Structure 1
Amino acid sequence: MKSLAQEFAVPVKWVPKQKLDSMTQDAVHQGVVLAITPYEYLTLKQLLSQKKEHSFYLILDSLEDPHNFGSILRTADASGVDGVIIPKHRSVGITPVVVKTSTGAVEHIPIARVTNLSQAITELKEAGFWIFGTDMKGTSYDKWNTKGSVALIIGNEGKGMSEGLKKEVDEMLTIPMTGHVQSLNASVAASLLMYEVFRQRGFESL
């Protein structure tokens, strides 16, 4: 590892374990921490400039848990998501915990940060996107028509989607459940839906 760092001109500094614990907020670091420059988010315009014929974006509505965000990014990379959109305020951004939980996926998924999600959705619609939300009531996710360019909204861990955004969607999707708990963890729900798009668009032809 030291020779690789030297090869790529990455400076190495030896510090006490307590320093690494502090830098990682007592997370598991296995004795190595990499300090990097702040993450550079895209604007929505920059993200849309990368639009494909059938793009698939995630819109994270005020997600707060960095572990959920990191897990979503990891699955997004695995399932072929083309971009993620997050709000600037009242939402988790790219933190060391997110980077670690994503196992590097944060470096491969374009992430745009916007001031207003409602305005972003309006711009996505103008660019030809169909907007889908997640709720307890709606179309079963396995009946979801994923053709064309689609954007999927994943709501806050506790409150779900904001009422304002619910008015913006073209169709609500739901994940059928049985049992006593009537909601899934945000990253688990997002994973099921991401892989439904992957299944319909390409998995069956692999």
Structure 2
Amino acid sequence: MAGNSKRPGAVRKAGSKKGPQVGTGGHSRRALRGKGPTPKAEDREYHPAHKRKVAAEKRAETQQRRDASRGVVRGTRRSTDGAEVVAGRNAVLEALRTDLPITALYVASRIEHDDRTREILQLASERGHALLEASKPELDRLTDGQVHQGIAAQVPPYEYADVDDLLDAAEASGRPPLIVALDGVTDPRNLGAVLRSAGAFGAHGVLVPERRAAGVTASAWKVSAGAAAHVPVARATNLARALTELKKAGCFVVGLDGDGDTEVGELQLATDPLVLVVGSEGKGMGRLVRETCDTVAAISIDEGAVESLNAGVAAGIAMYEIAKARRSA
């Protein structure tokens, strides 16, 4: 009967196990909740894509075992973290021969072997260096476009010697010191050429300023053809002051300049303890460095289109003349 409050209706009885409920209470959201994203096809064991993935992993493991048996480990370019990259067969071979702490050795995937690469692979195997197979584009990026000949090595940043170390090397050799100082030479290729000549003509080290001067970089390593591993390089905060200290240690300082007082081939001080100072091709030696020199020598060149020689060539000629004078003394 209408208006009868005692009429039974769709009201849950008090004391019911579920209790009274108002609204949906989130039932709809719970009903719509799924079981998560559908797994990828390659992760479903029953799917053909999963079988292809497993087969590919097995092939990769088989290839890795084959590469390991040949001493080559496939890999990609590693982060250099400030390290230097030595490129070229001669430079890498010399780095291995002198036991440089190589952190990675890269070999082109289709390299044409010769005696140098065979010795590189042998030394790397004996010393436990892992070889990383790389493509030519990877080697080009790693070496910044240098001529790498399919071989590159990553080494820690160069550790410079002290000036006293150069004098110690001369004392250990039993010969009068011969040190080459570079003033304002900013091209690392010139530094590399000087290092190569220094190794050929018996110099005991090279001295360079800390600022506004080339350091031992990958380019210098390349041009030196490995001589950077044999000839120590020292850095000086102030080159003129370092030359003064070398003079106090008993060395004569000879500058190299086109307006010199004497010819390099006629240098009377060639057989004495000597520091040969080479300036840049454009500006030459700085004023303070020139004032430190005991004498200034010159290299005569024929008159013509060439007005001067670059630092690497001039230093090589001067070291040759000094070495010749010392051999004949």
TM-score normalised by the chain length of structure 2: 0.60
Mapped contact 2:278–2:285 kept (Cα < 8 A): yes
2:104 — aligned with what? none
* SS of equivalent to 1:136: coil
* SS of equivalent to 2:134: coil
The structure with the largest alpha-carbon Rg is 2
Shift of 1:147: 2.4
2:279 — aligned with what? 155
2:225 — aligned with what? 103
Q: Write the letter of the residue equivalent to 2:291.
A: K
2:236 — aligned with what? 114
Gaps of 5+ in 2: 1-117
Instruction: Name whichever of 128-137 and 15-24 sits farther off.
Output: 15-24
Mapped contact 1:58–1:154 kept (Cα < 8 A): yes
**Per the alignment, do residues 129 and 3 of structure 1 end up closer, same or farther by CA in structure 2, a change over 3 Å counting?**
closer
2:303 — aligned with what? 179
1:144 — aligned with what? 267
Mapped contact 2:254–2:275 kept (Cα < 8 A): yes
1:50 — aligned with what? 169
Q: Write the letter of the residue equivalent to 1:142.
A: G
Mapped contact 2:265–2:322 kept (Cα < 8 A): no
Identity %: 38
How far apart, CA to CA, are the structure 1 residues paired with 2:295 and 2:123?
A: 50
1:196 — aligned with what? 321
How far apart, CA to CA, are the structure 2 residues paired with 1:45 and 1:167?
A: 22
Shift of 1:3: 4.3
Structure 2 residue corresponding to 1:35, chosen from 154, 157, 165: 154
How far apart, CA to CA, are the structure 2 residues paired with 1:49 and 1:73?
A: 18
1:68-147 maps to which residues of 2 (within 5 A)? 68-138=190-260, 139-145=262-268, 146-147=270-271
* SS of equivalent to 2:133: coil
How far apart, CA to CA, are the structure 2 residues paired with 1:74 and 1:45?
A: 21
How far apart, CA to CA, are the structure 2 residues paired with 1:153 and 1:201?
A: 18
2:18 — aligned with what? none
Mapped contact 1:64–1:157 kept (Cα < 8 A): no
Structure 1 residue corresponding to 2:139, chosen from 6, 15, 20: 20
TM-score normalised by the chain length of structure 1: 0.93
Gaps of 5+ in 1: none
Mapped contact 1:132–1:173 kept (Cα < 8 A): yes
Q: CA RMSD in A?
A: 1.5
How far apart, CA to CA, are the structure 1 residues paired with 2:212 and 2:124?
A: 37
**Runs ≥4 in structure 1, deviation > 4 angstroms?**
none
User: How many residue pairs align between the two structures?
Assistant: 204
